[in-house]
A and B are shown apart, each in its own frame.
Chain A
């Protein structure tokens, strides 16, 4: 075994060449051994990044054959059932790259699977960040960039799956048209502008194409870069544990460990996408036939990430208003506008505002670098689960026809159930989650004061039987003790003393009450050191339980 003593001259010479031109050594000196904390949940965002890379590569490959044209041609390719059928060039070229280009079908399926993985992993990553409070100062801006990325990814998905111009994608396009035209005042004009005239016209595929392969990807790429630069600059959050504080990062260095792991993780993502493209057929456009606005197949469904919009459209009651009666103005089709805009609006605006709302309610202006355990902020976790329930119900009822067929329930009943569940499930999710969080906190407090059950029964000289409790490992102990009371605004509006200026009036009072409810310590961890097993005495609340200005966990300012 021989080890390097110095940089090999070939590397050092080219590095010298570059450094003489870029002066990059100080940057590398700071960053080559940058520490990255390790936790499985931190990898979810990486999946999104790697799927994006796969999307760029496979997408570029597809553009070499795809023709974004709606000109009519008669099919003369090798797929028999469509021989002589009139279709758009877009559809014909999609068939061509599927059947006549070696590896074309594989890459097309990879592109579609990677798109699903991209959005799914972004959503999972977002939930991880939300539930651990990793959006808190100083990461609010990166959170907003993330929300923009997700929104753009939805638009990218919509423009992308419209391109092959098969019967299924056309159904999606038709729904898009119906939504656009429903918008008050501008809808009709917007619709003519998008489609270049009548629907479907001759232009929309070419227009969606340039949006799909140039405009949105360019913005995505810029935002992804910004997202990564900010993450790099602010350093990653870490889970609580032994030796981990708000003022340090504990983990493995970028070079060589993180580099190797990240490289391997990209390859794993790629392998999964290739595997799906090999074994799981997706979007078999040749079975659907070319698009015509006169036809549709039953069970038409969008990709999963747009299903919540589909579900909203399906469970919405038939409300429509004519503001000015028979005069040719003022029709407001609420049965389209509400489901198309409201859920998306609630979710996106809610996501963007949440960090600032939480900050306003708790009055917490400190930097946070420790990922909070979801149970330790029960209201936040409940709000998150409530949002998931809201989204989940809409998503589920995007397939209400499949659902009623599967459960052998009438379609009408299924839809009515959806209308009830969209209200009740979020409330139920909130209550259940809140109780679960408190229960888990109690268990934590219990483990700290009594240790964990060892399964060993001991008989005391007095004849009494006791179970021996083993103390927690140092790391688990530190992990649990990382819990902090959620900051609250100073009391006031509730009648204790004179309220502070910001806490007066209607808004101020509301803020005070929300702060009282949201913050504070519900289940304090009492054990002084947690290592005294069975006869744990309840000592003073330790550092984790009381003050918010604790040195270890706050960057004082």
Chain B
């Protein structure tokens, strides 16, 4: 194929091509008996399909392809007629579009498979494999080129050049790493980064300069201690002023439980309770899921992610599961109007452990305020 306009197959003359399905131009239309074609001998390994079977299969394939076309028409029709919006309408549209599309695709697939299996020949053709390793001659030539090029470049002989290149390339590799530093948008100094995990918004004052009240999650209402007086009750609580601040909630969400005085064990810090009401961090100390399930009879708090179980009567110590530490207790009291407020922040970091956490519980205990 050198000449540009030369087609792969040359034709002797440019005669009009016959339309598929009509007799060949050189075969007589009428009268003369068809000249018997030269006996077709399929190559070895190619077993043509039985003609009668093939003809039957052809009808099936055509039927399949016909259904495909009709289904696509149906798909377009459904797209235009079925509007979406409500759950019911969307469900109906989803069903109609999905069904018609599935039928269209499926019948096309079935048709092609029937075609391949019953109309195309059966093949058992054989091809040789060759070892993957290249010929000796080629490998030697490549090796020769490699040596030649390496020498020509001076990379081998000029040592200083070589030694200067590697540090330069390595230095350039630092650039992308440095550029990623501002992935932390707050740009906190590296030394202070871990400290951000040690505090929650419970330690901050509200805009009025008061300690934050405990707000019932979802309702936005503060809780009067007197109203939360049924032992066995549980509330999910968020800090006042941060009801929709997800970053704050990820650390500061709390569960509020009312216990009978006789049930409270030594692990619970009674100074941080108010009239049998105790507040624990809702953020599991395992990997941070909200420990949201509470069993009234056993006073067990359960995290639904990995089933860490905490004893609410005993400082939320771990009784089962992969969590290694108790849920931190939030010191609470009431303000002048009788609403529950936080006395201060958690004594220890909430949520999952991190490298810089250390044994915060032991530290808090030695400092005196701990549970």
On A, residues with C-beta under 8 Å from B are 2, 6-9, 12-13, 15-16, 19-20, 23, 25, 33-35, 72, 78-80, 86, 98-106, 109, 138, 171, 174-175, 177-179, 181-189, 191-194, 196-201, 203, 234-235, 243, 246-253, 256-257, 260-261, 263-265, 267-268, 270-271, 274-275, 277-279, 286, 291-300, 310, 313-320, 322, 324-333, 335-336, 339, 367, 369, 400-401, 411-412, 415, 555, 557
Q: Which residues of B contact A275 (CB under 8 A)?
A: 98, 102, 106
**Is the Cβ of A331 less than 8 Å from the Cβ of B4?**
no
Q: Which residues of B contact A336 (CB under 8 A)?
A: 286-287, 322, 352-353
Of all chain B residues, the one with the shortest Cβ separation from A197 is B186
Residues of chain B in range 280-329 having any CB-CB distance to chain A below 8 Å? 282-283, 286-290, 292-293, 304-308, 318, 320-325
Residues of chain B in range 325-371 having any CB-CB distance to chain A below 8 Å? 325, 351-360, 362-363, 366
**Is the Cβ of B292 less than 8 Å from the Cβ of A296?**
yes
Q: Which residues of A contact B293 (CB under 8 A)?
A: 298
Query: Which listed residue (B85, B120, B185, B193) contacts A203, Cβ 8 A?
Result: B185
B173 within 8 A of A: no
B272 within 8 A of A: no
Q: A320-B324, A325-B359, A331-B358 are in contact. Are A274 and B101 (CB under 8 A)?
A: yes
Q: A35-B125, A78-B85 are in contact. Are A19 and B1 (CB under 8 A)?
A: yes
Interface pick from B86-94, B139-147, B204-212, B263-271: B86-94
B39 within 8 A of A: no
Q: Count how many chain B residues have C-beta atoms less than 8 Å from C-beta atoms of the other chain.
A: 105
**Is the Cβ of A13 less than 8 Å from the Cβ of B356?**
no
Interface pick from B7-15, B153-161, B164-172, B222-230: B7-15
Of all chain A residues, the one with the shortest Cβ separation from B55 is A1
**Is the Cβ of A333 less than 8 Å from the Cβ of B129?**
no
**Is the Cβ of A333 less than 8 Å from the Cβ of B128?**
no
A224 to B288, CA, bound (A): 36
Question: DSSP majority for the B interface?
Answer: loop
Of all chain A residues, the one with the shortest Cβ separation from B248 is A198
- B195 to chain A: closest CB distance in Å? 9
**Is the Cβ of B318 less than 8 Å from the Cβ of A327?**
no
- B265 to chain A: closest CB distance in Å? 20
**Is the Cβ of B20 less than 8 Å from the Cβ of A199?**
no
Q: A196-B184, A293-B249 are in contact. Are A253 and B125 (CB under 8 A)?
A: yes
A322 to B361, CA, bound (A): 11
**Is the Cβ of B131 less than 8 Å from the Cβ of A557?**
yes
B23 within 8 A of A: yes
On B, residues with C-beta under 8 Å from A are 1, 4-9, 11, 14, 17-18, 20-21, 23-24, 79, 82-87, 90, 93-95, 97-99, 101-102, 105-106, 108-110, 112-113, 115-116, 120, 123-129, 131-133, 180, 183-186, 188, 190, 193-194, 196-197, 217, 236, 238, 244, 246-247, 249-250, 253, 282-283, 286-290, 292-293, 304-308, 318, 320-325, 351-360, 362-363, 366
Of all chain B residues, the one with the shortest Cβ separation from A329 is B356
A86 to B220, CA, bound (A): 14
Q: Which residues of A contact B24 (CB under 8 A)?
A: 2
Q: A200-B247, A278-B94, A328-B194 are in contact. Are A296 and B287 (CB under 8 A)?
A: no
**Is the Cβ of A178 less than 8 Å from the Cβ of B287?**
yes
A181 to B351, CA, bound (A): 10
Q: Which residues of A contact B190 (CB under 8 A)?
A: 189
Q: Which residues of B contact A104 (CB under 8 A)?
A: 84
Q: A99-B90, A178-B287, A401-B307 are in contact. Are A188 and B323 (CB under 8 A)?
A: no
- B322 to chain A: closest CB distance in Å? 4
14 contacts between A and B (CB under 8 A): A2-B23, A25-B8, A35-B127, A78-B86, A105-B84, A174-B250, A191-B354, A260-B113, A261-B113, A278-B99, A292-B246, A296-B304, A325-B362, A555-B129
- B9 to chain A: closest CB distance in Å? 4
**Is the Cβ of A271 less than 8 Å from the Cβ of B102?**
yes
- A114 to chain B: closest CB distance in Å? 13
Q: A192-B184, A248-B127, A260-B120 are in contact. Are A293 and B290 (CB under 8 A)?
A: yes
**Is the Cβ of A187 less than 8 Å from the Cβ of B355?**
yes
Q: Which residues of A contact B184 (CB under 8 A)?
A: 189, 192-193, 196-197
Q: Apart from A103-B93, A106-B101, what are 19 other A-B pairs with CB-CB below 8 Å?
A: A25-B1, A104-B84, A188-B194, A246-B129, A252-B123, A257-B123, A260-B115, A264-B116, A265-B109, A270-B105, A271-B106, A291-B246, A294-B236, A313-B306, A322-B359, A331-B353, A339-B322, A415-B307, A415-B321
